[in-house]
Structure 1
């Protein structure tokens, strides 16, 4: 049996990995052992009705050889760091447990039990290199036993037992694996990076968000900064958005929460015109970037408080089975003559457990 295929994969998102120990099959061999036996029955028999058999106490022992990097076989164990350990053979031993049912001279069916030991030394098709001999063990599959018999004399029973088994040479190896959230469990925490909008490359470009007609503001709900949309030109559209694939799973709903405030024209309330709407969206995509779902909430400027933050949240529809990523987007759409802007802070996108009925 070949060694499992291995490959390198570059993960585009930060992942959590843990070290685990798993059994790896490094070789498999089919073993057949023929065992002949002749026994004397407790009494004279007219015939043998049937024999049932099973294999018990099956054990496997790997046989190792040490080899230096030069290819020389080491007959005497050494402590050389260049020594390599190989599995060359396996020793299989066990017990054939038989239940013999025969008919005596009184036409009565009687029972007789027999245990027969066997041992088989099997050489592998090639020597297999292992990392640690203490972690190597033998697993057995496809265990079968067949019995043929003859009764040459009334009390003498000759049997031929054929034991067939697949022995798999396995080694416990320590590997690192990526920890993935169960598809039946909502990933904990927000799915967005820098939802508090604290990281900025310059006053116009948040590090983890895409932005258009956006500027940094110190009027924040929490922390030091927030994002103000429409500040560069309140008569033009603006947007703030972020793509994420972390923790976006199928068959779930997601809740988008954010804090929003309206900023009145700094020239004064008398000349201010509040004529815009803000649309918050969570758009879902498949692996090819095709939109396969959306949840949204539209806010008119009249429903957003002036100079104070209020929290808004909504829950998306259940995600499609092919979902791979999501985009959170805030769209600022002004009407003619608008002078005001909108501030966004503390954005959170989190998975919400589905409601289940209790019976």
Structure 2
């Protein structure tokens, strides 16, 4: 995709951030007398946030593992969960915005009041950042190289789905029809997005017995949206909305329904841009710190379960990738998953699976612990040689591309190229894979 002068990007604009420390003080009765507290390991789990106007409510659990020495000099363990709740002021925050929470255990102070009573003081620091996804045109320049989602295009389509359903009992009145969209799938082809899904309807009606009955109906639909410039591999966001539901009770058991569905589609592409620094807005982006590509050869000999006269093909893919960042290096581990198709001595085709673990490292100057890593693995070549009826030699060339980024906040230069368009607010039916 060609880079335009002032690209339109979908980006996280920083609304505000704040930090708060809270003190959790609890008293615990130990199951047996203790002479010493060896250690208390604390971690935060079950974090939950709720954004209200100008505030963020944070709830979670302090999970503590307490190790203590009993009077018999045996180290024992006991666990304790302590819930906590607090709020942080974030001017400008509104419901629906995105929240990032970073809790840190600042201090753990155990005090053994008596052999069975343990007083614990935990200092917890909570950092909150609130962002909002917006579309803005930014100026390019000699600032940092960042990874952003450039908007390729967006479009809206409406579809009318008309169906006739036979009710389970004669109705005197239809009370309501609730319609939602589920099971959304899409396929991206050149200049188009094909969307398929299900309109799930819940029909509430009164039968001749004056009892309200319920009946469900699922209606599949398929539409497409023209998005010039879209190609396979780009990112797609789909936001369906039920615009209108109408119904007519033609006979006591025959119900005609019309549902108008509006589907908004946005296509974006992950790109690298060197942006110009400016006066705002303040955005959260991934600054590129380094990247590198490396190939390695995996050679294995596998014993087939039955004698073979021919190997038809070997399909290979890389899965279960994990990474670890060191200074100026990225360690990569994963598995080469191979499916071997061969012909046995009875001329029957068989399949055999082999999993080959690998570990390697790639030099990425500028990489530091705590940075983000993106790995793209590609099978370059698969070669094989049937040494004898049961021994198969294989050679697989794997290419690994590594990109290291750091999450930063920068002030960019926004370029006004048209009237301001507020960000699309997705409904409850929104789907963003």
TM-score by length of 2: 0.30
Q: TM-score, normalised by structure 1?
A: 0.36
Q: Whose Rg is larger? A: 1
Q: Which has the higher strand share?
A: 2
